[in-house]
Amino acid sequence: MYKILEKVALNPSMTKMVIEAPHIAKKAKPGQFIIFRVDEFGERVPLTIADYDAEKGSVTIIYQKVGASTLLLDTLNEGEYILDFVGPLGVPSELEGYKKVAVIGGGAGCAIAYPQAKALHNMGTAVDIIAGFRNTDLIILEDEMKAASDNLYLMTDDGSNGNKGFVTNALEDNIKNGVEYDLVIAIGPVPMMRAVSNLTKPYGIKTIVSMNPIMIDGTGMCGGCRITVGGKTKFACVDGPDFDGHEVDYEELMKRNVTYRNLEQSAREKNCRLVNNAEVK
């Protein structure tokens, strides 16, 4: 059992939880993930580690309330427990040897991009963070991202924060204005990662993306998280989650990610009814 040390609502759809997990906290590296299970009837859900503190023995996760399991997780509060919390899983991000890096996050992807930027910044690398959200009300981790970067560019689809546009607009402006990146890290919705990769490819800028395909066991046994990279089959759980953004087959990935959309919607609606009924009682 894993104790919830802290729970904070970041915006109407996203929550931060700090979990007591000392063994994971001692080994965790940027880019790795955990798999949690709320109870014995729950599904296994992967989440990238948003932060960790080896001294305190804690691991921070940030989740979006979009499915049955994350909705169920969000009914728990500080002092309560999660049944399973396994990790760290996946290959740590390779961050050594870069001088100037753009770390790009889209929406919930900012929770994954932040630890990458933090690690690079602590290593003395010059870091620009470009973060995109639909509107100002959905912005998360602004103070944390400022502290982990030399420059923070916050973009909103509707311009409600004064900077209207997509993350690719800010990235392209910087490149055209002479900023020389030797690495771009893009994490967020698949269409966003594809757009960033398409932008950087003509400039020859190395681009890394973090893949989030359907995943079950997280150990490479089931093959559920397979993706095609450079014409070869890879497994996000053991070969990634980081991959060369210029070699990922995004079309295949997007098709596979919607395979269970109807079942997910049905489970979400069922869980919402259960949660609402419990609150009424």
Instruction: Give the domains, in start order, of the chain with CATH numbers.
Output: 2-89 (2.40.30.10), 100-257 (3.40.50.80)
Read off the tokens for 197. 């990769």
Element (H, E) at 175: helix 167-176
- Residue written as token pair 């014995």: 40
* pLDDT over threshold 70, residue 267: no
C-alpha closest to that of 95 among 206, 259, 2, 229: 206
Write the DSSP symbol of residue 248. B
Could you tell me the pLDDT band of residue 177, with boundaries at 50, 70 and 90?
very high
* pLDDT over threshold 80, residue 281: no
DSSP per-residue codes, 152-169: EEEEETT-TTS-BS-HHH
C-alpha closest to that of 24 among 84, 78, 85, 73: 85
* pLDDT over threshold 50, residue 80: yes
Is residue 242 within 8 Å of residue 210, measured between CB atoms? Answer: yes
Could you tell me the pLDDT band of residue 71, with boundaries at 50, 70 and 90?
very high
* pLDDT over threshold 70, residue 266: no
Residues 6 or more apart whose CB falls under 8 angstroms from that of 9 comprise 15
- b or e along 78-93 (b: 16 or more beta carbons within 10 Å of the residue's beta carbon)? eeeebebbbbbbbbeb
